[in-house]
Amino acid sequence: MTEEQRSGAGRKVHYAEAEPDRPGFFAVNHYLEAETAMKTALLIAYAILSLYAISDVLKSARDWATKVVLIAIILIPFVGAGLYLFAFRDKRSS
């Protein structure tokens, strides 16, 4: 075994192994994991609502110009799909 292999030089260090002696280091790491999980859950919910709203617009009996405007409203991040489903959805077909 060479000296370089014994010392670990050139070895990639994982983020969690970088400074384990620093107080609060692991708490910050777990916070970042929870934050990433929440962002992923919100992104999935946004995608599902947007797809549902867009399919509802395409199935409606509106003219194409109105459909294009409604789809543009739906594509506004995190607000558009909810706004469409709450305010602009065709209530007669439900």
Residues 33 and 46: their CA atoms lie apart, in Å, by: 20
Residues 83 and 71: their CA atoms lie apart, in Å, by: 11
Q: Residue 3's pLDDT is what? A: 55
Q: Residue 54's pLDDT is what? A: 92
Per the CB < 8 A criterion, the answer to whether 49 and 82 are in contact is yes
Beta-carbon contacts of 70 under 8 Å, excluding residues fewer than 6 positions away, are 57, 62, 84, 88
Query: pTM higher than 0.75 for the full model?
Result: no
Query: Could you report the average pLDDT of every consecutive run of 10 residues in the chain (94 residues)?
Result: 55 53 57 82 91 91 92 88 84 64
